[in-house]
């Protein structure tokens, strides 16, 4: 992405697919972290997982 917010090369569809893949990875990582984190950290990671999952819904 360029500083003005436009895509730098590639198609919009390709960029969306790339972003969706990254969001899915982050969601998976945050959920996995919830399972091993202490209470306070688990709550924060759960919030992050929910945010990442909502981004994924918008992208797909």
pLDDT digit string (tens) for 8-60?
666 788 888 888 888 889 888 888 889 999 988 999 888 888 888 888 888 88
Whether 16 is in a domain gets the answer yes
What are the residues whose beta carbons fall under 8 Å from the beta carbon of 40, sequence distance 6 or more? Answer: none
Whether 5 is in a domain gets the answer no
Whether 53 is in a domain gets the answer yes
Categorize the per-residue pLDDT at 6 as very low, low, confident or very high, splitting at 50, 70 and 90.
Answer: low
User: What's the pLDDT score for residue 4?
Assistant: 58
What's the domain count of the chain? 1
Assigned token pair, 48? 């992050």
Interatomic CA distance for residues 4 and 44, integer angstroms: 31
Whether 27 is in a domain gets the answer yes
Query: For the whole prediction, is pTM greater than 0.85?
Result: no
User: What's the pLDDT score for residue 60?
Assistant: 81
Whether 35 is in a domain gets the answer yes
Helices (H), 1-60: 12-36, 39-59
Q: Which domain holds residue 29?
A: 12-59
């Amino acid at each position: 992405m360029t500083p003005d917010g436009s895509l730098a090369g590639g198609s919009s569809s390709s960029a969306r697919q790339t972003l969706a893949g990254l969001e899915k990875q982050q969601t998976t990582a945050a959920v996995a972290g919830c399972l091993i984190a202490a209470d306070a950290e688990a709550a924060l990671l759960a919030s992050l997982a929910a945010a990442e999952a909502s981004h994924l819904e918008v992208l797909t």
